[in-house]
Amino acid sequence: MQLLMDRIRKDGKIKAGNVLKVDSFLNHQMDIELFKEIGKEFKRRFADVEINKILTIEASGIGIACIVAQYFNVPVVFAKKTQTKNIAGEVYTSRVESYTHGRIYDIIVAKEFLGKGDKVLVIDDFLANGKALEGLTALIKESGAELVGAGIVIEKGFQVGGDIIRSSGIRLESLAIVDSMDEETGTIVFRNEEK
């Protein structure tokens, strides 16, 4: 998605540890006009499949998922991050290793909001090593729902997540794939860029 690539190049900041900061339009301040274009693009890419629910993970995924959901006319469920021990009963749980925070946390979704018969599109802001997506996939599997696909705003193609998810047979659509980025020069190379 060229609009998004242009924006990343203009406003993205490359930080140590292969972290791309996009706080001015995606992760802190949110550009809703851009989010609308993102929503339209996901709708176009997943136009051939039936989706009745969008699943994301707090916090950064929520804003994006809510705008995207307006183009699918479906509810959004977000997995909550928790450090509560011994959660049982009415929730599905999975363990996720955080890329940006470097720690492990549990994610939960209440059983009443996900289950057999649901056709789920997962939406998230970034794909790095794929841990968040794997955690969400595990929750969906446990619930008996069907994972229709995953829509990612920015994939860091030089990290392993994309390969792992694609080779597991999940339909993955990333709107911008960063193949390399250089902290020194600020250069970003995108996969399949039109220009």
Binding site for ligand 5GP (CB under 6 A): 19-22, 27, 60, 99-100, 124-133, 156, 161
CB of 117 to ligand 5GP, least distance (A): 27
Q: Please, what is the minimum distance in Å from the beta carbon of residue 156 to ligand 5GP?
A: 6
**Residue closer to ligand 5GP, measured from CB, 89 or 102:** 102
Non-local (6+) Cβ contacts of 54 within 8 A are 65, 68, 69, 72, 74, 75, 76, 77, 120, 121, 122, 123
Residue number with CB closer to ligand 5GP (119 or 131): 131
What distance, in Å, lies between the first and last C-alpha atoms of the chain?
Answer: 11
In the complex, the smallest distance separating the C-beta of residue 18 from ligand 5GP, rounded to whole angstroms, is 6
Nearer residue to ligand 5GP within complex by CB, 18 or 52: 18
Closest to ligand 5GP by CB, 28 vs 111, is 28
In the chain, the amino acid numbered 10 is K
Written as six digits, the tokens of 22 are 């996009």
The smaller minimum CB distance to ligand 5GP, of residues 51 and 176, is found at 176
Q: Note whether 162 and 133 are within 8 A (CB).
A: no
Least distance CB 143 / ligand 5GP (angstroms): 20
Q: Closest separation between CB of residue 124 and ligand 5GP, Å? A: 5
